[in-house]
Amino acid sequence: AEIKSYAAVDLGASSGRVMVGRVGPDSLELSEAHRFPNRPVRVPEGLRWDILALYAGVLEGLRAAGKVDSVGIDSWAVDYGLLDADGALLGNPVHYRDARTEGVAEKVWASVPAAELYAATGLQYAPFNTLYQLTAARLTRQLAQAERLLLIPDLLTHWLTGEPGTELTNASTTQLVDPRTRDWSYDVAARLGIDLSLFAPLRQPGDPAGVLRPEVLEETGLTGPVPVTAVASHDTASAVAAVPAVGERFAYICTGTWSLAGLELDAPVLTEESRAANFTNELGIDGTVRYLRNIMGLWLLQECLRAWGEPDLGGLLRDAAEVPALRSVVDAGDAAFLAPGRMPERIAEACRASGQPVPASPAETTRCILDSLALAHRRAVEDAQHLADHPVDVVHVVGGGTRNALLCQLTADACGLPVVAGPTEAAALGNVLIQARAHGLVGDRADLRGLLARTQPLTRYEPRGTTAPWRTAQARLAER
């Protein structure tokens, strides 16, 4: 049988990778061609992505990948680069954790009230949504000079092929898309003075996005033509596509720097109750909606590890497992944890301010973080089922957090549901599978998930004990 190879470029907040997926009628194998760090840089004007280093990593990765049938790119959402009339990049893309959006939401809501904004776009409030970033940039000369705005995966695709486009799943994170029409929200943009003509035409996951330019072929040593395929270019959309679920009664948690916890639905939930619960309606493949909540995720732990000088994680997790459960919990959905820096202190302060024991060692802080994350996972899974009227009987955990067995077990305990953990490289697998599907190798969404369930190693965690202590902890957190 025929085996095809696809290069999946998957860029995360702390590292990028180029993976090669080999897909056959009943086989799916993934291997890493190249991994490189993604180091945001703080310059006097703020926190920026080193986009040239990322592009260099992509080129090196394609060289290492060798002959492939197509290339696809996914990355984190919301951020973008601006091009001038000559097609030159205007400055380094601003990092979504940059402070420029502080206080901007209030200005936006003065023109379009928050409730109206939710009804029109279905996006949860997050200070970094592209809409707030563009409002923050409103009077800058850079934006005035810009002719094109390209989201990060679209920018890299453009550099590889010369073809501009705006991939839909990622476009849905800008807060400028209507999740019912799956087209731009023209009214919102007009009322906020955002020029939608900056965006290139929408592309659907699976659409062709050009071929590698001759210069790129030369630099990577590849022989053309090598097509580039638009995938679900928001990493979370790719990861959700790769949830190995059978049936429809499942919740998912995409873990990594963030935890994105929720459901896959056929239609958005735009109720006021849903807005108050801060659930988002991002778009997925095949007309689906990713109904989910953003939770701070392992960012909390990553930032602590950085502050502690990168100690051995395995040892730390073993010690954390011995710390009594649920002594102190913080709200892992709180935007107060968004900015980098001083994370152990900020967690200690949050515990102190809420009258709980202050973690006194890295192991105790780690346990506090993992308990808090599991609790936030529980709340999101529970709230989503209720708000969407969509009950589930299993929670799929995918992404980097699947390596953290303690987090998976605590999540099962907190939810009172079995957790199926895996695949770890869900975003890259989703990226590969959308390419394979565009080339006719896999069928519908159920086929795609069936292939994952048959071929990928998965670990099952059964819930231990009752959820009573978690319910109590949740009530305690809600009181404060």
**21 to 80, contacts with ligand LFR by CB under 6 A?**
76-78
* Minimum distance of ligand LFR from residue 122's CB (angstroms): 14
Tokens of 464: 């231990």
* Minimum distance of ligand LFR from residue 96's CB (angstroms): 5
235 catalytic residue (yes or no): yes
- Alpha carbons 237 and 264: distance in angstroms, whole number: 10
- Residue 96 or 470 having the CB closest to ligand LFR: 96
Applying CB under 6 A, among 260, 285, 323, 326 the residue interacting with ligand LFR is 260
- Residue 235 or 371 having the CB closest to ligand LFR: 235
* Minimum distance of ligand LFR from residue 434's CB (angstroms): 16
- Residue 6 or 258 having the CB closest to ligand LFR: 258
* Minimum distance of ligand LFR from residue 406's CB (angstroms): 22
Is the CB of residue 183 less than 8 Å from the CB of residue 107? no
- Residue 172 or 474 having the CB closest to ligand LFR: 172
Is the CB of residue 373 less than 8 Å from the CB of residue 407? yes
**381 to 440, contacts with ligand LFR by CB under 6 A?**
none
Span interacting with ligand LFR, options 37-45, 200-208, 228-236, 350-358, rule CB under 6 A: 228-236
- Alpha carbons 442 and 295: distance in angstroms, whole number: 32
- Residue 260 or 323 having the CB closest to ligand LFR: 260
- Residue 77 or 414 having the CB closest to ligand LFR: 77
**346 to 365, contacts with ligand LFR by CB under 6 A?**
none
Contacts of residue 37, defined as CB under 8 A and 6 or more positions apart, other chains included, come to: 14, 15, 16
Do the strands 4-11 and 70-75 form a parallel or antiparallel pair, or are they unpaired?
parallel
Nearest residue to 329 (alpha-carbon basis) of 480, 475, 473, 478: 473
326: left (phi over 0), alpha (psi -120 to 50) or beta: left
- Alpha carbons 289 and 122: distance in angstroms, whole number: 10
* Minimum distance of ligand LFR from residue 289's CB (angstroms): 14
- Alpha carbons 154 and 209: distance in angstroms, whole number: 9
- Residue 256 or 284 having the CB closest to ligand LFR: 256
Tokens of 364: 């105790």
Applying CB under 6 A, among 10, 98, 167, 235 the residue interacting with ligand LFR is 235
Applying CB under 6 A, among 92, 121, 233, 236 the residue interacting with ligand LFR is 236
Span interacting with ligand LFR, options 35-43, 184-192, 257-265, 304-312, rule CB under 6 A: 257-265
Span interacting with ligand LFR, options 196-204, 210-218, 231-239, 302-310, rule CB under 6 A: 231-239
> How many residues line the site for ligand LFR (CB under 6 A)?
12
- Alpha carbons 66 and 240: distance in angstroms, whole number: 27
Query: Cα dihedral sign for 176, 180, 182, 184?
Result: negative
Beta bridge partners of 251: 395
Q: Is 231 in the site for ligand LFR (CB under 6 A)?
A: no
**285 to 304, contacts with ligand LFR by CB under 6 A?**
294
* b (16+ CB within 10 A) / e for 99-108: ebbeebbeeb
Is the CB of residue 392 less than 8 Å from the CB of residue 381? yes
Binding mask 137-166 for ligand LFR (x = CB under 6 A): ------------------------------
* Minimum distance of ligand LFR from residue 173's CB (angstroms): 6
- Residue 229 or 294 having the CB closest to ligand LFR: 294
Span interacting with ligand LFR, options 176-184, 255-263, 306-314, 358-366, rule CB under 6 A: 255-263
Q: Is 243 in the site for ligand LFR (CB under 6 A)?
A: no
- Residue 6 or 128 having the CB closest to ligand LFR: 128
CA 197 from centroid of its chain's CA atoms: 26
* Minimum distance of ligand LFR from residue 110's CB (angstroms): 25
**92 to 121, contacts with ligand LFR by CB under 6 A?**
96
Q: Is 258 in the site for ligand LFR (CB under 6 A)?
A: yes
- Catalytic member of 79, 98, 154, 235: 235
**204 to 223, contacts with ligand LFR by CB under 6 A?**
none
* Minimum distance of ligand LFR from residue 373's CB (angstroms): 15
Burial class from Cβ neighbours inside 10 Å (0-12, 13-18, 19+) for residue 243 reads buried
* Minimum distance of ligand LFR from residue 8's CB (angstroms): 15
* Binding residues vs ligand LFR (CB under 6 A): 76-78, 96, 234-236, 256-258, 260, 294
The residues annotated with a catalytic role in the active site are: 235
